[in-house]
Structure 1
Amino acid sequence: MKIQFNTDKTINGDERNSDYFTVLISEGLKRYSDHITRIEVHVTDENGHKVGIDTIRCLLEARLEGKKPMAVTCQADTIELAVSGAISKLNASLKTIFERLTNH
């Protein structure tokens, strides 16, 4: 599973942050790693440098083997919360998809 980390110009996307979130995503989606070819992570600050609530948005796009890509988003106050929330949502979606496949 390849993970591509993208940020906008207002988010610090240095290698240290990228590595931290790559490990977080890999661990969070480990159960489905055999079925995922690539994860694209897009982290943006909806307000730019202005202060606001739930302005950090994380979009996770998962490319699954033999299936159409799927995407989830989560908005939160911090990058960590946004990424963690998106991982939880993606896990729930993947669980539903793979449970349906095994039941049919």
Structure 2
Amino acid sequence: MKVQINTDKHIEGHERVEAYFTAEIVKSLARFEDKITRVEVHFGDENSYKSGIDDKRCLIEVRPVNCQPIAVTEHANTIERAFHGAIDKIKRSITTAFEKQKV
């Protein structure tokens, strides 16, 4: 499973931040590791330098083997909260998609 972290120009994308989010993704999606080829995470600040409520966005796109990509988006006041909300959503979406394949 390859993990790719992308940030817009308003989010700092230092190596330490990328390492943290990559480790969290690998840990959170470990049970699906053999069914996923790639995970892309996109962080953005929708209000750029202005402050605002829930202006940080995290989009997670998972590419399962031999299936259409699954994507979720979460907004929050920090990128960490947006990320953890998106991880929860993507785990539910992947579980549902794989359960439907079994039927």
TM-score by length of 2: 0.97
Identity %: 51
- Calculate the aligned-residue CA RMSD, in Å: 0.7
In structure 1, the partner of 2:26 is 26
> How far apart are 1:24 and its partner, in Å?
0.8
User: Which residue identity does 2:21 align to in structure 1?
Assistant: F
Residues in 1 aligned to 2:100 and 2:44: alpha-carbon distance in whole angstroms: 33
Aligned partners of 2:8 and 2:43 also within 8 Å:
yes
How far does residue 33 in structure 1 lie from its aligned partner after superposition? 1.2
Cα distance in 1 between the residues matched to 2:24 and 2:49: 25
Q: Tell me the alpha carbon deviations over residues 7-61 of structure 1, each in whole angstroms, 9 at most, x when there is no partner.
A: 0111010100000000011111111111110001100000001010100000001
1:33 is paired with a residue whose SS is helix
- In structure 2, how many angstroms separate the alpha carbons of the residues matched to 1:97 and 1:68? 10
Runs of 4+ in 1 over 6 A off after TM superposition: none
Match of 2:56 in 1: 56
The match for 1:84 is: 84
2:73 corresponding residue in structure 1: 73
Task: State the aligned residue count.
Answer: 103
Distance 1:8 1:45 in 2: 7
Q: Which amino acid is the alignment partner of residue 88 of structure 2?
A: S
